[in-house]
A = this chain, B = another copy of it.
């Protein structure tokens, strides 16, 4: 078997093409790399380099070896990552979500959550839920997808309903519910990270304009000093930042949106192997869900 530090030197050399730069990139001296490549040839029992007094280059075999070495190093690092993440998943629970709603609820439940498990929350993008579970990036992922594979399953946790907050003097604000159609051609302030909701509002409201805002506090400010409508959901009642804003004078009226596409069924997905350990927290969330 061949030592990894030699494979790494070879892999770097294949990029830099000189021993000096290889040494620099690895924070060692040139003689170290020289000896390393000599040892590598000795270990392989094969010529890997064409040597001239002032120049060294890979043979064809050397090129192949370098390519293989690069792969092996990558695999080694990926293995370490897999193991660390698996270990982490054994005593902690990382929770991700494709939409912000469940994370708001989790923040609200923070004090009730068990102490022995550490809960982290993060917003996900892309539809790589399966991969992220399989890689132990997360133990629980909330989304509007129900997943069932040989190693993954999902549970229903609740429904999230979109609401729009309208200035009290707008005529739509006097209704008990509203349809997307009735919001057409309006301009809205929207937080950038709202996951799957973004596609929905863009698709369903004709002629609407959206002012996307990255930062949450800036978003709060803009809503305060303007009368643009903005969106919330039935989970927003647990949003502490939003509650602080509400307490100050927000003259908007919250109106539920009645369309089917404004109702999102939320599932939580997880590795079936971990079901037992995750059941309590999933039950807690489902039980705490509004309505």
Contacts and interface: CB of A to CB of B under 8 A. Distances in A.
Given A3-B3, A4-B2, A8-B1, A90 B61 contact: yes
A46 interface: yes
Nearest to A78: B68
Chief secondary structure at chain A's binding surface: helix
B72 A68 contact: no
Interface residues of A, number: 30
A59 B4 CA distance: 26
Given A60-B90, A87-B47, A1 B77 contact: yes
Q: How many copies does the complex hold?
A: 2
A73 interface: yes
A179 interface: no
A241 interface: no
A224 B69 CA distance: 57
Contact of A72 (B61, B76, B84): B76
A47 B83 CA distance: 10
A75 B1 CA distance: 10
Interface of A: 1-5, 8, 44-47, 59-61, 64-65, 68-69, 72-73, 75-77, 79-80, 82-84, 86-87, 90
Given A3-B3, A44-B80, 9 more contacts: A2-B4, A4-B4, A44-B84, A46-B83, A61-B86, A65-B79, A68-B82, A69-B79, A72-B76
